[in-house]
Chains A and B, each alone.
Chain A
Amino acid sequence: MLTTSSVRQVTLNEGAVNCDVRISSLNGPACERLRDLGFCEQMQLRKISNGRNLVCTVCGAKMAISRELAEQVLVSPVL
């Protein structure tokens, strides 16, 4: 059985485009703001594009966030 610790966690920046991932944790000074916007632990999201700002869908909404913010979002693949 897979446990949380055995699943590889990467930052949202490192996540693959067009893949569904789940937020494992938030780590950084902007955590509260990210949570307000729907980037909460256990929430599923899909990264749409890379670039200067990332585009991803979370809770049915499309959000553009900077790479600095994406670095604070740790995700793991949806199993």
Chain B
Amino acid sequence: MSAASEAPSTVALIGNPNSGKTTLFNALTGANQRVGNYAGITAELKIGEAYTPHGRKLHVLDLPGCYSLRANSPDEKIALDALTGKLPGTAAPDLVVCVVDASNLERHLQLALQVIELGMPCVLALNMVDVAEKSGLRLDPAKLSEELGIPVVVMQANASKGIIELKQALRHPFPPSSSALWQKSDGDPEEARRTFIADICSLAARRPDAQTWSLSDKLDSVLLHWFTGWVAFIAVMFTVFWAIFSFASVPMDIIDSALGSFGGWVEEMLPEGDFRSLLVDGVIAGVGGVLVFLPQIILLFLFIGLLESSGYMARAAFLMDGVMAKAGLSGKAFLPLFSSYACAIPGVMATRTIDSAKERLVTIFVAPWMSCSARLPVYFLIVPLLLHESEGSWKQALILFGIYALGTATALVVARVLRGRLGPDKSANHFLLELPPYRRPQWRYIFRHVIDRAWSFVKKAGTIILGLSILLWALATYPKTDSKDPGEILAHSAMGRIGAFIEPAVKPLGFDGRTGTAILTSFAAREVVVSSLAIIFSVEDTDDDEETRSLLRDRIAAATWPDGRPLFTPLTLISLLVFFIYALQCLPTTAVVAREAGSWKWAIGQFLFMSGFAYAASLLVFQGGRLLGF
């Protein structure tokens, strides 16, 4: 065998949105890509490796879902370019696996026929046969294969059924390309495809005469209803926020306790000095201060995964279309914006499903105003200072809900203004959304995704936040003074001097130099402010977990101005909250925005606008509140 023939072949998975391509990709490659139950989960090309039964290596491409090869939206264009070998850095596929939903064959075959017409070797993966059989569809895969002239593999990718058979079909030599017999030289190609599909489906995928009333239909009669649908939507969203506050307290206590014990142990083991101070006051206080919020972040991703996997997310987009329209956006913008509640980066990337280029730009611009999970540590630090725990977690949940609502409402207002300034699209784009059947959540993928996100958070705590914590500790420790007074030590340090320098700029917002410095350190990653405050206010971990948990809050609550006035009044705390709701303090988001918008100008403009907006809003809240006598 020649060396050339040993080179791995490239196999592309193509299909309509929500046909199960990513599930199949994960099953083939053992990868862990995010799987959902709504269109547009895969917004970019994914590449993995698989092996044929004979051990031959294959490169597998998971293309974004598309309805046709006309490339109406950016993600469809990526799929088309990858298929035709025009995507830089990606080889043209040697074989295409057309993934079709067996219960929607009439629609999904449209794309499959267009791929076959390109003259590429194809295999049809007839996925979701369980759903098709349940709906009473009588499938004849052999007839389908005979009519299309390509191999057809019956599959249920989410249960790993048919994977071996598909790998058998990917053996060398690849099947020859079909000659697209349905196309005549003189006819309309669209018409020819439609007629062929109607004929083939009447032979190989016969539907029962009477339409059945499925469980999804029954659920939709409530969840899409103009009144009960909204009641359910608000209940779902409120439950998510309430659960994040309530359920996370036990694991948070455990993490706190463990960090406290560890800090105490380090303090006992090491002699007093700079190294002990670095570990206890810098590393453990800084990294631990952020790690303690891991349970809430896990819960948020778990709930978002559940909503996506069950199919409810598409219903939420349907309900929200009217609200989005008031902001000059469509219901399609809801999915990226909702994803941004977890993290703005996947949210910005999910905007590729939006057909209108201008709507997409506006959605990218406002997506970081959806309060992401990195803001949660800041909110969880400040909200309990405004409202004591004894007043009930539901009140805290209500405030958190209000914070999210404020960010969202502002985003929609700004979107409206911006959309108006950008003007109408060249061609009209209308709302069009597939509502997939409700499915049992795919727990395996949800858990894997949650673990991934949690690990990425821990990694960030161990790298960026650790680095900044050490830097902050050094700034707060050096140069040293002989004084024993903590206030004088801080004032003499580099941190104190930076704080004094920037204080005039942040004083109108109600903050002193220390808070200003903490904010300054959080512009690379907003959650760093928690570690910064822990280091600046000299919080150490203790053995008593309850004490450790509230120590930072106590220190903040007890902090004063030089004249003895409390530093953090309710008005100052609200001003601080408002600043963090609006400021864009995430460098990775700015980088992704530049890539997706195709312009650094847009990304830098967004950063400057959001920072300026945060400053102005915070100023308005503090000065307005003071004028009103608060």
Instruction: Point out residues on A near B: beta carbons under 8 Å.
Output: 20, 29-30, 32-33, 35-38, 40-43, 46, 48-49, 51-53, 55, 57-66, 68-69
Asked whether A64 and B427 contact (CB < 8 A) given A37-B67, A38-B107, A55-B224, the answer is no
Closest 10 CB pairs of A and B: A38-B107, A59-B106, A36-B67, A66-B431, A66-B430, A62-B435, A36-B68, A64-B433, A69-B430, A61-B104
Additional A-B contacts beyond A29-B427, A36-B67, A60-B132 (18; CB < 8 A): A32-B68, A33-B72, A33-B432, A37-B67, A37-B434, A40-B106, A43-B106, A46-B211, A55-B318, A57-B211, A58-B107, A59-B104, A60-B207, A61-B434, A62-B216, A62-B435, A64-B433, A68-B428
A30 to nearest B CB, angstroms? 6
Cβ contacts under 8 Å, B624 to chain A = none
Band of interface residues on B? 35 or more
Are the CB atoms of B137 and A64 closer together than 8 Å? Answer: no
What are 19 residue pairs bridging A and B, where the CB atoms are less than 8 Å apart in the complex? Answer: A32-B190, A33-B72, A33-B432, A35-B194, A36-B110, A37-B67, A40-B106, A40-B198, A52-B325, A55-B220, A55-B318, A59-B106, A60-B103, A60-B132, A61-B101, A62-B436, A63-B433, A64-B331, A65-B432
Interface-centre pick from B103, B216, B325, B431 (highest chain A CB count, 10 A): B431
Asked whether A53 and B190 contact (CB < 8 A) given A58-B107, A59-B106, A62-B220, the answer is no
Interface-centre pick from B67, B137, B220, B430 (highest chain A CB count, 10 A): B430
Expressed in whole angstroms, the Cα–Cα distance for A43 and B107 within the complex equals: 10
A21 to nearest B CB, angstroms? 12
Q: Residue of A at shortest CB range from B114?
A: A36
Are the CB atoms of A59 and B107 closer together than 8 Å? Answer: yes
Interface-centre pick from A38, A63, A69 (highest chain B CB count, 10 A): A38
Cβ contacts under 8 Å, A37 to chain B = 67, 107, 432, 434
Cβ contacts under 8 Å, B437 to chain A = 62
Expressed in whole angstroms, the Cα–Cα distance for A16 and B132 within the complex equals: 27
The proximity string for B residues 422-460 relative to A, scoring 1 for CB distances below 8 Å and 0 otherwise, is 000001101111111100000000000000000000000
Cβ contacts under 8 Å, B331 to chain A = 53, 64
Expressed in whole angstroms, the Cα–Cα distance for A51 and B433 within the complex equals: 15
Identify which of B428, B431, B433, B435 contacts A29 (C-beta below 8 A).
B428
Are the CB atoms of A38 and B70 closer together than 8 Å? Answer: no
Cβ contacts under 8 Å, A69 to chain B = 430-432
Are the CB atoms of B135 and A55 closer together than 8 Å? Answer: no
The proximity string for B residues 378-415 relative to A, scoring 1 for CB distances below 8 Å and 0 otherwise, is 00000000000000000000000000000000000000
Asked whether A30 and B430 contact (CB < 8 A) given A40-B194, A51-B226, A63-B435, the answer is yes
Expressed in whole angstroms, the Cα–Cα distance for A38 and B193 within the complex equals: 12
Are the CB atoms of A59 and B105 closer together than 8 Å? Answer: yes
Q: Residue of B at shortest CB range from A59?
A: B106
The B203-227 residues at the A interface (CB cut-off 8 A) are 207, 211, 216-217, 220, 224, 226
Are the CB atoms of A65 and B431 closer together than 8 Å? Answer: yes
Identify which of B198, B430, B435 contacts A68 (C-beta below 8 A).
B430
Cβ contacts under 8 Å, A59 to chain B = 104-107
B337 to nearest A CB, angstroms? 18
Cβ contacts under 8 Å, B432 to chain A = 33, 37, 63-66, 69
Expressed in whole angstroms, the Cα–Cα distance for A36 and B322 within the complex equals: 25
A14 to nearest B CB, angstroms? 18
Cβ contacts under 8 Å, B72 to chain A = 33
Cβ contacts under 8 Å, B44 to chain A = none
B439 to nearest A CB, angstroms? 13
B98 to nearest A CB, angstroms? 15
Expressed in whole angstroms, the Cα–Cα distance for A30 and B70 within the complex equals: 13
Expressed in whole angstroms, the Cα–Cα distance for A59 and B107 within the complex equals: 7
Asked whether A42 and B220 contact (CB < 8 A) given A59-B107, A60-B104, the answer is no
| B321 proximal to A (CB < 8 A) | yes
